[in-house]
Amino acid sequence: MTLMNTYPPQPVTFVRGLGSELWDVDGKRYLDFLCGLAVTGLGHSHPVVAEAIAEQARTLQHVSNLYGTTIGPEVAATLDRLVGTEPGKVFFANSGAEANECAIKLARKWGGRGKYAVVSAFGSFHGRTLVTLHATGQPAKHEPFQPLPEGFRHVGWNDLDELERAIDPTVAAVLLEPVQGEGGVQPATPEFFQGVRRICDERGVLFIVDEVQTGLGRTGEWFGFQHFGVAPDVITMAKALGNGMPIGACWARADVADAFEPGDHATTFGGQPLAASAARAVLAVMEAEDVPARARKAGERVTQALEDVDGIAAVRGLGLLIAAELADGLDAKVVATAALDAGLVVNAVTPTALRLAPSLLISEDEIDEGVAILRKVLE
Ligand code: PLP
């Protein structure tokens, strides 16, 4: 094994995927209720996305961002339309953490000297680079890497009073997920998001929404913030945008985006034709299939079915980003391992809860099959 020791031993080696199905090296079939980690929103090997990548690979794979391409601007325009607030501009990156790095640098440039701090929430997850690690409100993850870059503070999740108290003239931005994904699938309350918008307006602070896990239909809206009737200043996304092809994006309202000048930020690969062609195909399929509506409908079916399963105490989430809180005494890791043995991919998002993030195109039969496997495992 020549890989660095950053993940626990991997229990299965997958070699093929199609739609909601995966096959391992021994030919065993699995139903995928996790989609990577909320990445393959259109399922594995979607034919339209696969064809777009193959065709682009034969046409033009890469030019540097010193030169133009036609695809990136097209994808940016579609994202801007789906965000649906004021006109914005997009920077393409290669991952969620990089999209957040861009947002945080943009907030600092916009804030100017002395206005640089970012307030985020305990329980949040924003990435693993040094800056996004510090934005991530999980102190245990910080410890081995101290000292981390300055300018980050954390407040209780959904605690508006604490957030307001944390804002002083050094704060440039508030950074929040609409649903804390890695933090256990914990949705924000509408009052919290609406209150944050009001406070940011009053105090001259940017509201950055991290839609890396929640964006692009997953929660039953194009973006999670759309559940709460607020308009962020900056939005980051990644995961589902390429359906597995690495691409991230940082969208910002045009006047905020204009704080960046040439030379302020850059990337070798971000927005390159190959990844952008995947994103263009993904967005076209997502719009044609109306994935937010499908996620709402499928999410209701999954939630209702799980509520009837012995061994599941509570179900929470939005759309197809769902956590099943297990009954007392059940260990989520043990249950997730047993589910994998039984042919269902889910993960333990906390010690007591499973996360389910199936394909946005999952069929009713596949939902029923997955829930039946889980029911049997919990029996
Ligand atoms: N932000 C959120 C909300 C995430 O869930 C994740 C990854 O799980 C990230 C950022 C980091 O994304 P990446 O792993 O692509 O850097």
Residue 1 has pLDDT above 80, yes or no: no
Parallel, antiparallel or unpaired: strands 179-180 and 186-187: antiparallel
Active-site amino acid positions? 125, 210, 239
If you classify domain 50-289 with CATH, what class do you get? alpha beta
Burial class (CB in 10 A: 0-12, 13-18, 19+), 164: middle
What share of the chain has pLDDT > 90, as a percent?
Answer: 99
How far is the centre of ligand 1, averaged over its atoms, from the C-alpha of 184 (Å)? 14
Which residue's C-alpha comes closest to atom 13 of ligand 1?
Answer: 96
Confidence of residue 199 (pLDDT cuts 50, 70, 90): very high
State residue 274 phi and psi, 5-degree precision: -65, -50
**Would you kindly state where each structural domain of the chain is located, as residue ranges?**
14-46+290-378, 50-289
| CATH numeric code, 14-46+290-378 | 3.90.1150.10
The string of pLDDT tens digits covering residues 54-97 is 999 999 999 999 999 999 999 999 999 999 999 999 999 999 99
Tell me, what's the pLDDT at 29?
Answer: 98
Pocket, ligand 1, Cβ cutoff 6 A: 37, 95-97, 100, 125-127, 177, 181-182, 210, 212-213, 238
Averaged pLDDT score across all residues of the chain: 98
The string of pLDDT tens digits covering residues 221-277 is 999 999 999 999 999 999 999 999 999 999 999 999 999 999 999 999 999 999 999
Pick the atom of ligand 1 nearest to 239's CA: 15
- Name residue 310's amino acid: D
Tell me, what's the pLDDT at 363?
Answer: 98
Mean pLDDT of 279-287: 98
Instruction: Name the residue of 34, 100, 125 to mutate for ligand 1: max ligand atoms within 8 A of Cβ.
Output: 125
